[in-house]
Amino acid sequence: MATQTSEQKSAGLDKNNKYDRQLRLWGDHGQSSLETAKVCLVNATATGTEILKNLILPGIGSFTIVDSQKVVGEDVGNNFFLTVDSVGKSRAQVATELLSELNEDVSGDFLEENVDDLLEKNPAFFTSFTTVIATHLPERTLLNLSKVLWEKNVPLLVCRCYGVIGYLRVVVREHTIIESHPDNSHEDLRLDRPFQGLKEYCDSLDLESMNKKDHSHTPWLVLIYKYLQFWQQENGERLPNNYKEKNALKELIKQGVRKNAEGVPEEEENFDEAIKNVNSSLHKTSVPSEVKALFSDPACLDLNIESKNFWVLMRALKEFTENEGNGQLPVRGVIPDMTADSERYIQLQSVYREQAAADATAVAEHVHALLHSIGRDEPLHPDKNRKPGTITDDEVKTFCRNSAFLTVVRCRSLEEEYCPETANLEELSRHVVEEEEEGSTEGDETVLYIMLRAADRFFSEYNHYPGAYDNTMEADIPRLKSCMNKLLHDWGFSSTIKDDYVQEMCRFGASELHTVSAFMGGVAAQEVIKILTGQFVPINNTFIYNAQKQNSTTLKL
């Protein structure tokens, strides 16, 4: 957790309280990233305002709504941020006013203008934002907007709700994550290859000569270190690698439990813990394949003055691994809690922390050399007004501590997805085929995606969505089916999709149900927060939610 100056503490006490429950998730540094973000929403639909609500509450810097439409009765029926007396007024303005009430620390603005016109007149308007969210845009406008943002590397999120279907597409060229906060991960204990400090510490302890209390309060980490050595005397310098060998080691540890005068083993919780941890703690330390892949990424290999700090750090990490690290990442420097007396637990913790600090210093030296080599020198005395492009020691430490979990997300562009020649046919076809083979009547999310695309195609041909009006329902069903088949044909599929889906799509009639919007409003907002904070891993690249069955899937389109 980042430490605070006393100045920040007194000025920010209210914010600390207000945001307490979320600061525990993304920390003060995550919060300050949110607070400097400028978010643009295109179209204040129910889905759009629900997304913004979940960004304004946690405190993004500012938002701007672009919407040329006037509020109609139908909008007020599903949108919490419009009121009936606002019918006929600018939808952007009314939504901005009501959304602004949610958090006085967030500033809101609106632009009552058509997106197509804006894209033509002033495309730079959109690229001035940290992130753009688009809801319910027609295909052509969406592709134009996406192209403008893609060129300037501004993340775009596309969200829509259609009947019981929720759709979210993340379009980000490259998103790098240092703090991915994995739910479960191996500890980094290095028992297979103890570093010097760990060896010295463990060797300095002698189990034989310890009094009863010390014996039963020796951390299990030390016990495994010692009994592994015994085991290795018989088996050579390697790890027990199967069930039998691990059991033999466990048996050795068990034999080490002190016995009382009658020869009955004492209760030594630390020995129980050691036995329990043999399986999870004795694994081969290695560089995760995901991180290895990043070492050979062109962005890591070809650094230049424009390189992102992330890639400079990645390159420094690679050089550390190949040199001082002897093939390994820096030591994380974190150990789990375990039965032990305070003194030796803290000593052991310090052993790991010191190694982590030494490794981070070595990485920092690589960072400095690299920055020098690409012409971005570190100032001698880093201060608050540091030059852009330099990297602080704290950043290096955070990077090292998370080095096993570094993640880069690169999405395909919308253009690639929408062009039949570059569409991800494998992803699309696999699901269409599975669907047919199983003969299942259950809706598959990929089919729902294809149906959404078919509905868009329908819209571009007929200027309304299938089933939007009761009186064209009957006529719309075969039309939508034909749109869908054309789409499948363009992708080169000879298969088709059951009529049930076509009919259900027409039932929806492009209705936007509030609860589906609210669900997607939560999902999309969280993906935006991931992008803004650089923490946690966003989807790559399409999320489909089916409220009918309360399930979902992520597709790479």
Partner 1 sequence: MEVEWPGRWNHLKKILERNGPFAHPDFEPSSENLSFVKDVCKILVIGAGGLGCELLKDLAYMGFRDIHVIDMDTIDVSNLNRQFLFRAKDVGKAKAEVASAFINARVPGCKVTPHFAKIQDFDESFYRGFHIVVCGLDSIIARRWINGMLISLLQYENGELDQSSLIPMVDGGTEGFKGNARVILPGVSACVECTLGFYPPQVNFPLCTIAHTPRLPEHCIEFVRILLWPKEEPFGAGKPIDGDDPQHIKWILQKSQERANEYNISGVNYRLTQGVVKRIMPAVASTNAVISAACATEVFKLATSCYVPLNNYMNFNDTSGVYTYTFQAEKLDDCLVCSLKPQTLTFTETDKLQDIISHLQESPSYQMKSPGITTCVDGKNKTLYMQTVKSIEVKTRDNLKKTLKELGLTTGQEVYVADVTTPVSLTFRLQLGSSMDNS
| Residue among 8, 12, 22, 232 that touches partner 1 (CB under 8 A) | 22
* Alpha-helical runs (H) found in 374-413: 393-401
From CA 476, how far away is CA 458, in angstroms rounded? 9
**Using rule CB under 8 A, residue 424 touches partner 1:** no
**Residue 343 lies near partner 1 (rule: CB under 8 A):** yes
Q: Does 508 bind partner 1 (CB under 8 A)?
A: yes
State the amino acid at position 14 in one-letter form: D
Please report which helix (H) or strand (E) contains residue 555, including its range: strand 551-555
Residue 111 or 291 having the CB closest to partner 1: 291
Contact characters 157-176, partner 1, x per CB under 8 A:
------xx---x--------
Would you give the binding string for partner 1 spanning residues 473-492, x where CB under 8 A is met? x-------------------
Tokens of 110: 């609106």
Smaller CB separation from partner 1, 74 or 377: 74
Query: Least distance to partner 1 from the beta carbon of 144, Å?
Result: 27
Stretch in the footprint of partner 1 (CB under 8 A) among 61-69, 310-318, 362-370, 540-548: 540-548
Exposure string for 128-143, b = 16+ CB within 10 A, e = fewer: ebbbbbbbbbeeeebb
Q: Which of 8, 12, 16, 114 is the binder for partner 1 (CB under 8 A)?
A: 16
Q: How far apart are the first and last CA of the chain?
A: 37
Query: Closest approach of Cβ 62 to partner 1, in Å?
Result: 17
Q: How far is the CB of 537 from partner 1 (least distance, A)?
A: 4
* Of the candidate residues 7, 237, 337, 437, the single one contacting partner 1 (CB under 8 A): 337
The footprint of partner 1 on this chain (CB under 8 A) covers a number of residues equal to 93
d(CA 251, CA 190): 22
Torsion of CA 488, 494, 498, 504, to 10 degrees: 10
Q: HSE on the CB side for 523, CA within 13 Å?
A: 25
Contact between 72 and partner 1 by CB under 8 A: the answer reads yes
Residue 402: Cβ within 10 Å count: 19
Q: List binders of partner 1 among 213-272 (CB under 8 A).
A: 217
Residue among 231 and 536 whose Cβ is closer to partner 1: 536
Q: Minimum distance between the CB of residue 339 and partner 1, rounded to whole angstroms? A: 8
Part in contact with partner 1 (CB under 8 A); list of ranges 138-146, 390-398, 415-423, 525-533: 525-533
**Buried/exposed code over 448-487 (b: 16+ C-beta within 10 A; e: otherwise):** bbbbbbbbbbbbeebeebbbbeeebeeebbebbbebbbeb
- Provide the minimum distance between the beta carbon of 73 and partner 1 in the complex, in angstroms, as a whole number: 3
Residue 536 touches partner 1, criterion: CB under 8 A: yes
Q: Interface with partner 1 includes 18 (CB under 8 A)?
A: yes
Whole-Å CA distances, 235 to 49, 192, 221, 232, 248 = 65, 14, 20, 5, 11
Asked whether 464 and 479 are in contact (CB, 8 A), the reply is no
Q: Which of 67, 378, 417, 512 binds partner 1 (CB under 8 A)?
A: 512
Q: Give me the 88-107 binding string for partner 1, x by CB under 8 A, dash otherwise.
A: -------------xxxx---
